Structure 1
Amino acid sequence: MKNIKLLSYFILAFIQFYGMSTSYALQLISADNERFLYTGRVEYSEPKKPVLSWPGTSVKANISGDKLVLIMDDENGKNYFNVIVDGQDQFPAVIELKAGLHEYDLSYLLSGKNQKITQIEIFKRTEGHEGGTQFLGLKLADKAKILSPPQALSRKIAFFGDSITSGMGNEGANNGKDDLVSEKNHYWSYAAITARNLNAQFHTVSLSGIGFMVSWFDFIMPEYYQQISASGNNDTQWDFSQWQPDVVVVNLGQNDSWLIDNEKRLQPEPSERDIINAYKSFMINLKTHYPNAQFISALGSMDATKPSRKHWIRYIKTAVNELNQANKTSNIAFITFDFNGFQGHPRVAQHIKNADKLTTKIKSLMQW
């Protein structure tokens, strides 16, 4: 009898162990699976290791099962990503990546979900200053599946800008620092909000500190905007023909205004005509890549649009007017995001206000 009880115990233990081990078996879904929906300037030189470096680059997928493990290889260990489940973006999971190759088990996000399909979105909050991240795929439960991908949106908007567009400091305390990487969230930038308002996919090419004539570092947007990688100034080349936007929004001038007026970084100091011509030159080059898009020049909402610096509004507006006069098909629109007296990068509330203004403008121009 004692031997029978002992044998029964071992059989039960084996069954429990075997059941536990199989229930936790995971399968790899490689990053080159055609059922992933990628958005943004993503580098595919290694299809199984696509690189997400620009703010707002994202991966979406519809999955089944109750296990979710992300496999990420981060360049510097400085990037943050939102992970949004079933579109619930008010309180996403936020993951801080470690340098190198790591797995991030987010299975707890699926706890208690009874539906057969879960949509996940992996969204890069941070920008090129933080480096690139290779996405190597997902691990799902053994019998789970990656299902048909979410449908790509037909409307397309491209944004070119600086820290305002990136969302620098937008989640910081109003009376606190606004340069913490953990509080930089492009998802709640005016650019991403505008795209969601209009049900449009978007590409963002932005970098904190950059200008069209002078930057806080040794390269400017005319030397940067053609890259496929956002990690510093490099020789990578984006193929503009593979993604043509309906609308292009350019919000540059904040850094130029500060560095020229206050820091005197450019010597000899450029004249009004020099500044206007530099802006025109960049816009002309950009328009060669997007000949059919509606362009919108924007400025603000930091102190480049404050009353005492209204000459910068005049510079940009004059450049736009001259471009439109020289080419009747240009039809570049102009908009300002008003300075409200806040001495810092705009917070989320300001981004929402600016997005509402831009959304109204685009709706009017595009009849969306």
Structure 2
Amino acid sequence: MTFSGGKPKPGRGTRPAAPATVDGGSRYELRRPVPVKGVSEQFHIAGRVKDLGKTVQFSWPGVYFEGRFRGTGLGVVLDCAAADYDVQVDGVTVVTLVMPGDTTHWINGLREGEHTVRVVKRNDTPGGTSTFGGFVAASGGAVLSKPAPRDRRIEFIGDSITVGYGNVSGTRDCNPEQVKRNTNADLSHGALTARQLDADYQLNGLSGLGMVRNVAGIVPDITYRTYYDRALLNVDDDVWQNPGTWHPQIVVVNLGSNDFTDLTPGEPWTPVSLAAAYRTAYGEFLGTLRTRYGADTILVAVGFDRNAEHVRQVVEACNDGGDSGVHYWFLDQSGLDFLGCDGHTSAHDDRVIADRLATFLRSLAGW
């Protein structure tokens, strides 16, 4: 539940001196395709991006790009020295790109024919901005029209548990570098839940931040709510411009694990004042979501660990105030091993949580 803030570091990554075989016929090449106008027309996306025409920029974890192409190879155009990415062809991960820098990564040796491709950002990098430049087909092939969006949409709002912090590590003992390499938002419980329900999704998660207080009282001048409206997390006053395609039927909020970590000397809170401020802010945040997405959107507030009773009270107050579309869901810890980095939920735990949460959301939405 840690947070690394700050501004992005300069630099565009280091390219290899010559094409280098990586695995399965994949390689990096120095040449770059000529950018096309309206590159976002190549791919489907549900996550928050800033569309610059020839490229898109993004910061949140789990942002994914889905496309279609014909031929035996495909280039993936990225400029990111901060995050890791899985590239999936026809539903199978063919390569993981670790902080790829400014490059076109080629996937070659595929069978001739039509294929699907999916590129997904694995980890949270709030201090950096990532750039995606779309796809380029190998000689003789073509990038095809993008896949249609899914009819169902879920937005997940939360902290490190939502991100999938260190979930594939297999151990609680991780240094910062191991946390980065072993965080896989595509295997987080939110991503798995959405796939079970055949839904597009956003993972708007930030490790270490809370509703009114952050883990161990760090950076007290900001909270999760400081960043929620942004597309680019490290750009002050940035506001995500919804292209009009994102209207979730369900929003799941899981914030509070960091708020209720042990108080440290010198903090202005008492247990009573913290709880009261948390409940007030949580209710206001749900009100903001209700105004933004309308009466038809189901809001789910997750009770987890020390925040559970406070969240339940917030939901009860919303219901008493006439909003029956707000629901409480208790994240049951039974059967979880917490073998992710620093005692976070593991990939096993994420599967268990997803099974339970998908069942609950299905009952609410009738999916």
> Which residue of 2 is the match for residue 85 of structure 1?
89
Q: How big is the alpha-carbon RMSD for the aligned residues of Structure 1 and Structure 2?
A: 2.3
Following TM superposition, the consecutive aligned residue runs of length 4 or more in structure 1 with deviations greater than 4 angstroms are 25-29
- Post-superposition offset of 1:271: 4.8
> Which residue of 1 is the match for residue 362 of structure 2?
363
> Which residue of 1 is the match for residue 280 of structure 2?
277
3-state DSSP class of the match of 1:37?
coil
Matched, 1:55 2:58: no
Matched, 1:172 2:169: yes
Paired with 1:26 and 1:72, the residues of 2 have a C-alpha distance of 10
Matched, 1:225 2:220: no
3-state DSSP class of the match of 2:42?
coil
- Post-superposition offset of 1:148: 2.2
Paired with 1:296 and 1:265, the residues of 2 have a C-alpha distance of 34
Please list, as runs of the form range in 1=range in 2, the aligned pairs for 1:30-49 lying within 5 A after superposition: 30=36, 32-33=38-39, 34-44=41-51, 46-49=52-55
Amino acid in structure 2 at the alignment position of 1:39? A
Paired with 2:58 and 2:69, the residues of 1 have a C-alpha distance of 21
> Which residue of 1 is the match for residue 71 of structure 2?
65
* Contact kept? 2:167, 2:182, Cα under 8 Å: yes
Paired with 2:243 and 2:43, the residues of 1 have a C-alpha distance of 21
Mind listing any 5+ residue stretches in structure 1 that lack a counterpart? 1-24
> Which residue of 2 is the match for residue 141 of structure 1?
138
> Which residue of 1 is the match for residue 312 of structure 2?
317
Matched, 1:191 2:190: yes
- Post-superposition offset of 1:26: 8.6
TM-score normalized by structure 1?
0.81
Paired with 1:325 and 1:275, the residues of 2 have a C-alpha distance of 19
- Post-superposition offset of 1:194: 0.5
* Contact kept? 1:57, 1:124, Cα under 8 Å: yes
- Post-superposition offset of 1:331: 2.5
Q: Which has the higher helix share?
A: 1
> Which residue of 1 is the match for residue 331 of structure 2?
337
- Post-superposition offset of 1:138: 2.8
> Which residue of 1 is the match for residue 253 of structure 2?
250
Q: Could you say if the C-alpha distance between residues 326 and 177 of structure 1 is closer, same or farther in structure 2, counting changes exceeding 3 Å?
A: same
> Which residue of 2 is the match for residue 8 of structure 1?
none
- Post-superposition offset of 1:129: 2.5
- Number of residues paired by the alignment? 322
Q: Could you say if the C-alpha distance between residues 66 and 262 of structure 1 is closer, same or farther in structure 2, counting changes exceeding 3 Å?
A: same
Q: Could you say if the C-alpha distance between residues 26 and 64 of structure 1 is closer, same or farther in structure 2, counting changes exceeding 3 Å?
A: farther
> Which residue of 2 is the match for residue 10 of structure 1?
none
> Which residue of 2 is the match for residue 152 of structure 1?
149
Deviations 1:320-345 (A, max 9, x none): 10111012x34211112223463711
* Contact kept? 1:159, 1:204, Cα under 8 Å: yes
* Contact kept? 2:303, 2:309, Cα under 8 Å: no
- Post-superposition offset of 1:92: 4.3
Paired with 2:326 and 2:243, the residues of 1 have a C-alpha distance of 21
Paired with 1:265 and 1:352, the residues of 2 have a C-alpha distance of 39
- Post-superposition offset of 1:173: 2.1
3-state DSSP class of the match of 2:166?
coil
* Contact kept? 2:67, 2:144, Cα under 8 Å: yes
Deviations 1:174-223 (A, max 9, x none): 24317521111100000100110000001121100110011233411222
For the pair shown, the structure with the greater C-alpha radius of gyration is: 1
- Post-superposition offset of 1:28: 4.4
Amino acid in structure 1 at the alignment position of 2:287? I
Select 1:299's aligned residue among 297, 303, 307.
303
> Which residue of 2 is the match for residue 103 of structure 1?
103
Amino acid in structure 2 at the alignment position of 1:335? W
Amino acid in structure 1 at the alignment position of 2:162? T
3-state DSSP class of the match of 2:170?
coil
Deviations 1:295-336 (A, max 9, x none): 000133xxxx2xxx4xx2111100110111012x34211112
3-state DSSP class of the match of 1:128?
coil
Q: Could you say if the C-alpha distance between residues 140 and 341 of structure 1 is closer, same or farther in structure 2, counting changes exceeding 3 Å?
A: closer
Paired with 2:127 and 2:94, the residues of 1 have a C-alpha distance of 20
> Which residue of 2 is the match for residue 125 of structure 1?
122
3-state DSSP class of the match of 1:164?
helix
- Post-superposition offset of 1:30: 3.1
Q: Could you say if the C-alpha distance between residues 178 and 325 of structure 1 is closer, same or farther in structure 2, counting changes exceeding 3 Å?
A: farther
Deviations 1:275-296 (A, max 9, x none): 3212212221222111221000
- Post-superposition offset of 1:104: 3.6
Paired with 2:284 and 2:120, the residues of 1 have a C-alpha distance of 33
* Contact kept? 1:29, 1:139, Cα under 8 Å: no
Paired with 2:180 and 2:358, the residues of 1 have a C-alpha distance of 27
Identity percentage of aligned residues: 27
Amino acid in structure 2 at the alignment position of 1:263? T
Q: Could you say if the C-alpha distance between residues 35 and 161 of structure 1 is closer, same or farther in structure 2, counting changes exceeding 3 Å?
A: same
